[in-house]
Structures are given as C-alpha cells and as structure tokens.
Amino acid sequence: MNPDHDPIYRADCPSRAILDQIADKWSMLVLMVLHEPRRFNAIKRRLDGITQRVLTQTLRKLERNGMVTRTVIDGKTLGVEYALTPLGQSLKLPFNALYDWTVENMDTIQVCQSHYDQSDDVIRKASNQT
C-alpha cells in the first residue's frame, strides 16, 4: 500500500483516536510503571509530577481501551489495584523501544533545542529593533 494513501492520515480514521489515547505522555508512563500490578498511590508516587485528577483520568481511559484492569481489593483496607491486560502488555516492546531511543538521543535533541532557541531569540531581537 502506498503510504500516502494510508487511511491513518484521514481525519475519520479510528486509529487516530486510539493513538491519541495511548501515546500521550501520561498513558505511556502509566503503562510502563504497570510492569507489575500496583495500587493507585504506588503509581502516583512513581510518576513524579502527575496529579491525582490526571492519573484517575489516564487510568480510566486505559481501562476503557482494554489496556488495564481495575480490581477492588477487599481486605483490612479497601483498595484498588491496576494491572496490564494482555493487550496492555503487548505495548511493552514498542514503548520500551521508544524509551530507549529517547534516552539514546536526549543529549542530541537538547543541543538541537538550544540551537533553535538561540536562533529564534536572534530573530526576535532583530525584529524588535526594526
């Protein structure tokens, strides 16, 4: 199939919504943290910077998409545990590859960002002087 005619580029392609829901920053990080079942607060402690609201929304979205199961634990203290489904586990390999690529290229990307920001500052300063 010609990549230029791939239906993924169409606005009405369902894969766009799915990609949007599983490939955002928090979803990817939650899925990586769930390499073993964890309770809500354990996930929150592991993901520095995530708010309770965003974590709740992310877990609900992942559960709706069949990536995560939510199990109520009945014991001394009532709790909820989240775990990857087989579908969620199938994302480990591609997400780990993306993570590895990010780590391998982080320094280069930061240098590129710095160069871009410096050239952008020069352009802004020049346009302010005219």
For 52-80, write each residue's pLDDT tens digit.
999 999 999 999 999 999 999 987 888 89
pLDDT digits (tens, 9 = 90+) for 87-108: 999 999 999 999 999 999 999 9
Residue 77 bridge partners (DSSP): none
Domains and CATH numbers, the chain: 3-129 (1.10.10.10)
Instruction: Sort strands 79-84 and 68-73 into parallel, antiparallel or unpaired.
Output: antiparallel
Spatial neighbors of 114 by CB under 8 A, at least 6 apart, are: none
Number of C-beta neighbours around residue 62 at 10 A: 25
Q: What is the dihedral of CA 121, 122, 125, 130, to 10 degrees?
A: -140
- Over residues 4-11, the mean pLDDT reads 76
